[in-house]
Amino acid sequence: MASEIKRSGTAIRARLNSSKQIRTVEKETKPLQGFIRKFSNDWATTFAGALAYSLITALLPILIALVAIAGFILTGILHNPNGSNTIFSALEKIPALKSVSGSLQSSVGNKLSASAGPLAILAVIVAIIGGSRLFVAMEGSLNIIYRVRPRTALLQNAVAILMVVIFSLLTPIMILASTLPTTLLGLINSNASLKQIPFLQTVASNQTMILLGGYIGALFAAFVLFLAIYMIVPNKRIAFSKSWPGAIVAAILVELFIALFPFYIRMFMQSYVGQIGLAIALVVFFYYFAVILLLGAEVNAYFREHVQPLPNNLATFVSTVAGNLNEDRPADESEHHIDSTPTESKDRAHIARAHEDEEGNR
């Protein structure tokens, strides 16, 4: 009996020592490995597909709200005579939307021109409510990433509608920011007195500086958009200091994606032509945009909020948790689709805790 106990103790210590070595390796690679595991176990790419669908279906309602609200700001307040056209000109810079911007402009124009007075206001309100479905779907994905409960239905819809309005108000700022460097350089080129200044003359005549200025402006506009989403949409009070890293990552990736997307179309989508090719291009563009949006949220949640990854993928985790809700229920009486058996991650965590307890008792 004593020899069996001794052998058992030796085996346990061997397992604990092995676990210690595993935990040492995991600790050394924890940040990157943990982030990748969190991104994967949260099913971010799966939710990105649903979010891409919401982006496509909400595109027209949001554009109606944009033209009505942002167009009014550009035309009535900033005295831009072509306020609505400015919005569609900005859309043409997005590769996937360039070929459909004319159709979108016609659809939005017909929708607004068909209504007058109170009916036009009603059309905008309906568009805002329709576009808010995008932010309802977005909140669901971000709540999983941040491990928070959803808002009540009333509050959820109120925040979603508020986000459409905020987005419409931010659009003129983003358009102004994205075009400001190019506008200033054009002003220098057209002003003889300014061109007499050596530094300004050098900057204005340098095509690289003009191109770089446009990218910097677009990068800032994307940063503002992602920052607003990360700070407002999740059901959690998130400070600026814990939101800007993910917003910067997402903004940079989006600008790179927009720049490289035409190359992707030429290389991998030449076999798709006509309306089918256009539809697939839209789906692909919005899918990867959604992946980038969720990736930025994962950066904030993991590195700034220190939200740890699930021990297993979302389906396994939900099944395991559901199986443990009523621990007093016999296993043969539980639902057939629920499996409360501890997973391998749970086993490793149990061994690690046992090792820590043993170390503490020494």
* pLDDT one digit per residue (tens) for the chain, 362 residues: 445 555 555 554 555 454 454 454 445 447 889 999 999 999 999 999 999 999 888 877 777 776 666 666 555 544 555 555 555 565 555 555 555 455 555 655 555 555 555 656 776 777 788 888 899 999 999 999 999 999 999 999 999 999 988 887 776 666 666 666 666 666 676 777 767 777 666 766 666 776 777 778 788 888 998 999 999 999 999 999 999 999 999 999 998 888 888 787 777 766 665 667 777 888 888 999 999 999 999 999 999 999 999 888 888 888 877 766 655 555 555 555 445 555 666 556 666 676 777 777 77
Structure tokens at 299: 């950066």
Residues 176 and 94 in one domain: yes
Q: Tell me the residue range of the domain where 348 lies.
A: 314-327+339-360
Terminal C-alpha separation, the chain: 25
Q: What pLDDT was estimated at residue 319?
A: 80
Q: How far is CA 125 from CA 69, 83, 106, 162, 237, in A?
A: 11, 20, 19, 12, 28
Judge whether 30 lies within some domain: no
Residues 54 and 168 in one domain: yes
Residues 247 and 187 in one domain: yes
Residues constituting the chain: 362
CA 337/CA 323 separation, integer angstroms: 9
Q: What is the DSSP string of 293-350?
A: HHHHHHHIIIIIS-PPPPSS-HHHHHHHHHHTTTTTS-GGGS-TT---PPPHHHHHHH
Q: Which amino acid is at 125?
A: I
Residues 145 and 67 in one domain: yes
Report yes or no: 309 and 41 within 8 Å, Cβ to Cβ.
Answer: yes
Judge whether 346 lies within some domain: yes
Residues 124 and 204 in one domain: yes
Report yes or no: 294 and 46 within 8 Å, Cβ to Cβ.
Answer: no
Structure tokens at 236: 């959690």
Buried b (16+ CB within 10 A) or exposed e, 64-83: bbbbbbbbbbbbeeeebeeb
Residues 290 and 322 in one domain: no
Judge whether 247 lies within some domain: yes
Judge whether 281 lies within some domain: yes
Q: What pLDDT was estimated at residue 78?
A: 47
Question: Can you state the percent helix, strand and coil of the chain, rounding each to 5?
Answer: 80, 0, 20
Judge whether 113 lies within some domain: yes
Residues 318 and 294 in one domain: no
Judge whether 23 lies within some domain: no
Helix-then-strand count for the chain, H and E: 16, 0
Task: Please tell me whether residue 175 adopts helix, strand or coil conformation.
Answer: helix
Residues 274 and 129 in one domain: yes
Residues 143 and 242 in one domain: yes
Run of H or E including 139: helix 118-146
Q: What pLDDT was estimated at residue 184?
A: 67
Judge whether 240 lies within some domain: yes
The number of distinct structural domains making up the chain is 2
Residues 125 and 46 in one domain: yes
Counting beta carbons within 10 angstroms of the beta carbon of residue 188, is it exposed (0 to 12), middle (13 to 18) or buried (19 or more)?
A: middle
Q: What is the pTM of this model?
A: 0.71
Run of H or E including 258: helix 244-268
Judge whether 349 lies within some domain: yes
Report yes or no: 151 and 127 within 8 Å, Cβ to Cβ.
Answer: no
Residues 347 and 200 in one domain: no
Residues 190 and 261 in one domain: yes
